[in-house]
Structure 1
């Protein structure tokens, strides 16, 4: 994935680099303007969204609080009726009577207490029923107020009210059965209702009956059951058991099956932990859930607000913002294009002039009106062309000199051939006279001369350089009384390694001239050993002799001569006569050639131990001219 991303980025950079300066400037203008514009638009969109949402929450919260106040008034009215009915002395006497009431007592109760109970309901038209359920078998039912408990004793709400032991119990029911038709098989169910139930005990702890005050939910919480079509919000009431009661027509619960469960879940969390989450989404629709608790009856009012219409308004505002941004960017692009065309006119003239020069057309001069960077660039371009013309003239002159040098080299080669032929004739005379030593020496000397004069390039194979050193040592052995032995420890695979021509010969020459002659002391066993090792991506060639070595002071002076910066007139004269006095210049030249052709990471390093040995380490890059492909 990272490689693919890198490839795409490189492709984009290549494509972008080929665009014209004017195109890139316009793109930069658009980017510079588009970034802040998008940020401002996004901020404005969120601010408008939050404002619309906050206004909707405030509006519906206000309506919910108003409905809550209305419900609290209805609760108070029902509690007042229940209290008056429960505390009436006539009701208490009627409920606790153990004897069968006489006709006069029934008439008296009917004309006083029963009328008073009916008047309570009449004075509170929202109350649907006021009922007294008696457990006394001697009490006669007086419809529609006084009934026997046997009619409702098996209802769940009745059993729960008994457990309250005289405290108010509120029960929400989805239907209101007609008790007066219970035994006729024609039970009719009315609309959903809320009931206030209070157990009656006379004396305390002795159950005698139950007071029930009913009110239809459409009157108890009218906004939850309103018939007015509203597609923006829907109010509902939830009882203690999280049952939801609301209108059935144009209900959000039918269109969004998960909404009911979401409301119940959040109500349960609120009652246990106190947290409430307003936002809810289903089927791509957004809703706001706003609730107000009704602590007196362990219920809650919930308003579900649809954001569909609100989102339309927000989308319309967003489209206006986007349209305004597009128009603004278009105008900026047109203005930027016209201004850039005017500003870059001189730059295009300069570019066309450069193309003509590149095609070889003659260049006179270019004049750019005005100053600035483009004018300065045109000025330097003219200066550059003048400099190029001067350099071309110098190059032509150097080429002529080079041709002359080639002719001189050819002439020298002719002279070298004359010397080679002369050496060959002398060699033949030595062989005729049976002077084998002289003949071999002439062969070695001829090989050295051919190697020196045949300078076809700076690089040679290590094999050729070693062969030249062998010839050199054999020639030098004619001069000295004690023979110098040359030992080679080089794997045959490395003989094809690339080295600089004449890079090893100066090192061996230093050993031959200075390693065994110091202050009149001579060593009879003279050995020069050359070995090669591979270190990572480098080749390390070591030339080691068994001479008298160098003292630390002489070794330090030799290092200074090799590694010192080039100074006119400088030489290696600072080294004493007993050490590598003449070798300092030769080693310095080899070190500088190595760094010139291979880089400053390569070169020479000299190590020595006084009275024992001296070694020169030459580091090279591992490069083969021919042969095994296993090397770079």
Structure 2
């Protein structure tokens, strides 16, 4: 038993098409919405990050300037360094004077620290056997207890160390500017340390968020990061260093560690490095998606309700359409009836139009029979009006034989040349011919032209043998030569020569057709060049430009817009038309 094909009614097909179309549109719309939400989320995050990095940069600058200012204030306290030099020379203050020195001078350094929230500590390490006063005034040997003692550079910053106070290591991570103070002989007097908390210098340095991390990369490639961020930095150290090289003082979106992230950099010349902050956008985008979830649920439910309503309306409309279909089936079976559909909608209009169609069937059948008879008659007349090209060749051959019988060999040769030109122009098996065929046709043309004139036109050829076989559009050179005769030579009425030169230039072939005719003025030349390069068809009254325009258009059609004609002329001297076409080795 053969399987029956499942038949789906037109009504159900339309409902199915609407459902599929809505589904596809909803999917596309959802994709676009998700894409836009993602982009908007990243744009908002990028803007927020730029604002945040502005605060980071401002904070960094404030802390730097404060540290430099405090250092300068300490360096201006000459009495402290004079006292150290005095002790170096085995001298010292006594009694009240010494107490006054420690209270006023050393105490003022402590006061600077107390009133300034950016300063963690200020220490002066004296290169002398002074009396120490914590937390600001120590002997130089105390410096050796600090992590940076053997690696610091004068007037440079040191980063990420913890204070060593009498052998006890602190927990606060610090950064400091170190300055050596020397006397006029170059002898070290003291070392000044102005320190600040690393998390105060770099905002968010210790922030505990898995979605972002920060670090500081020195110009030497040293990396400073929190314990939480250290592992991520180490795993992507090359990428982080590349960011520091390529982007300075910038906030951009780029790939980092396989995820689209917002990368911000702040370069500080005085600190000698770049502060880097990288924020992943995946978490930000997901939060935006969640915020829009309810909206998408409402849209989806609305689509379902819409489909249900549309299905009811379509089924109601198609109940009338089905009735109309049954009546049309009656007409198909040969029962000419008038449809009963009434109303003002499209279905009613369809019924009215079918009634008109039925009314016109018989008349159309009669008209169709009449048109077929007329078409047959027209076909017969068309066959009767066709001219057999072979008949023309045979007539020319007969005239040639008659001329030879009467020994009119000039006429015989002219008829032979005319026949060759006629055969060449009538044979269009292909739009392209070899260059040698086109040149042969030009020779035939000039031979006939010389019969008409009292003067003679010679043809000079400079064509390499290997270029004779290149393909060019048929009848592309003959119109140029004909223009040379009609517009450049005929008015002179004296013997002259037309030159055809062909040569290769890089990957192109250049064909030059030159005549020593009357030439043209620069104004006429410019007008002609504009005409052949115009996008509009040249009118028939401009025969000169129209022939060149047609050649130009055919060359561009065959080879491309970059190829075509160039025209050069000098009034009273010459005219040269240069054709540029591509060189094809296969030809």
TM-score, normalising length: structure 1? 0.47
Q: CA deviation at 1:325?
A: 4.2
Query: In the alignment, which residue of structure 1 is the partner of 2:139?
Result: 147
C-alpha contact 1:85 1:117 (8 A) present in aligned 2 = no
Q: CA deviation at 1:315?
A: 1.6
C-alpha contact 1:134 1:208 (8 A) present in aligned 2 = yes
Distance in structure 1 (CA, Å) of the matches to 2:88 and 2:364: 138
Query: In the alignment, which residue of structure 1 is the partner of 2:173?
Result: 192
Query: In the alignment, which residue of structure 2 is the partner of 1:216?
Result: 197
> Residues 74 and 113 of structure 1: is their aligned pair in 2 closer, same or farther, counting only changes over 3 Å?
farther
Distance in structure 1 (CA, Å) of the matches to 2:389 and 2:355: 46
Q: CA deviation at 1:280?
A: 3.7
Query: In the alignment, which residue of structure 1 is the partner of 2:553?
Result: none
Query: In the alignment, which residue of structure 2 is the partner of 1:439?
Result: none
Distance in structure 2 (CA, Å) of the matches to 1:57 and 1:564: 77
> Residues 155 and 364 of structure 1: is their aligned pair in 2 closer, same or farther, counting only changes over 3 Å?
closer
Distance in structure 2 (CA, Å) of the matches to 1:611 and 1:270: 90
Whether 2:245 is the aligned partner of 1:268: answer yes
Distance in structure 1 (CA, Å) of the matches to 2:191 and 2:233: 40
Q: What's the CA shift string for 1:19-41, capped at 9, x where partnerless?
A: 75445645665677678767765
> Residues 314 and 153 of structure 1: is their aligned pair in 2 closer, same or farther, counting only changes over 3 Å?
closer
C-alpha contact 1:242 1:267 (8 A) present in aligned 2 = no
Match of 1:130 among 122, 127, 134: 122
Match of 1:341 among 315, 326, 340: 315
Whether 2:82 is the aligned partner of 1:93: answer yes
Query: In the alignment, which residue of structure 2 is the partner of 1:305?
Result: 279
Query: In the alignment, which residue of structure 2 is the partner of 1:367?
Result: 340
Q: CA deviation at 1:197?
A: 0.8
Indicate the structure (1 or 2) with the bigger Cα radius of gyration: 1
Query: In the alignment, which residue of structure 1 is the partner of 2:263?
Result: 289
Q: CA deviation at 1:214?
A: 2.4
Q: What's the CA shift string for 1:412-462, capped at 9, x where partnerless?
A: xxxxxxxxxxxxxxxxxxxxxxxxxxxxxxxxxxxxxxxxxxxxxxxxxxx
> Residues 106 and 211 of structure 1: is their aligned pair in 2 closer, same or farther, counting only changes over 3 Å?
farther
Q: What's the CA shift string for 1:562-604, capped at 9, x where partnerless?
A: x99757xxxxxxxxxxxxxxxxxxxx9xx78xx9xxxx99999
Q: CA deviation at 1:337?
A: 3.1
Query: In the alignment, which residue of structure 1 is the partner of 2:253?
Result: 278
Q: CA deviation at 1:124?
A: 1.2
Distance in structure 2 (CA, Å) of the matches to 1:252 and 1:381: 85
Q: What's the CA shift string for 1:239-270, capped at 9, x where partnerless?
A: 4545454543xx46646865665444322323
> Residues 300 and 72 of structure 1: is their aligned pair in 2 closer, same or farther, counting only changes over 3 Å?
same
Distance in structure 1 (CA, Å) of the matches to 2:378 and 2:18: 56
Distance in structure 2 (CA, Å) of the matches to 1:564 and 1:307: 77
Distance in structure 1 (CA, Å) of the matches to 2:252 and 2:161: 28
C-alpha contact 1:286 1:308 (8 A) present in aligned 2 = yes
Whether 2:61 is the aligned partner of 1:80: answer no
Query: In the alignment, which residue of structure 1 is the partner of 2:437?
Result: none
Distance in structure 1 (CA, Å) of the matches to 2:25 and 2:104: 79
Distance in structure 2 (CA, Å) of the matches to 1:325 and 1:40: 11
TM-score, normalising length: structure 2? 0.50
Match of 1:171 among 140, 155, 158: 158
> Residues 340 and 154 of structure 1: is their aligned pair in 2 closer, same or farther, counting only changes over 3 Å?
closer
Q: What's the CA shift string for 1:146-174, capped at 9, x where partnerless?
A: 32269549977766523xxxxx3221134
C-alpha contact 1:290 1:302 (8 A) present in aligned 2 = yes
Q: CA deviation at 1:112?
A: 0.9
After superposition, residues 379-458 of structure 1 pair within 5 angstroms as 379-381=356-358, 384=361
After superposition, residues 530-569 of structure 1 pair within 5 angstroms as none
User: What RMSD over aligned residues (CA atoms) do the two structures have, in Å?
Assistant: 5.1
Q: CA deviation at 1:303?
A: 3.9
Whether 2:291 is the aligned partner of 1:314: answer no
Distance in structure 1 (CA, Å) of the matches to 2:65 and 2:360: 102
Query: In the alignment, which residue of structure 2 is the partner of 1:540?
Result: none
Q: CA deviation at 1:194?
A: 0.5
Distance in structure 1 (CA, Å) of the matches to 2:56 and 2:293: 37
Structure 2 residues not aligned, in runs of 5+: 369-376, 402-587
Q: What's the CA shift string for 1:60-113, capped at 9, x where partnerless?
A: 444444454444444344333322332323322234348552565598446514
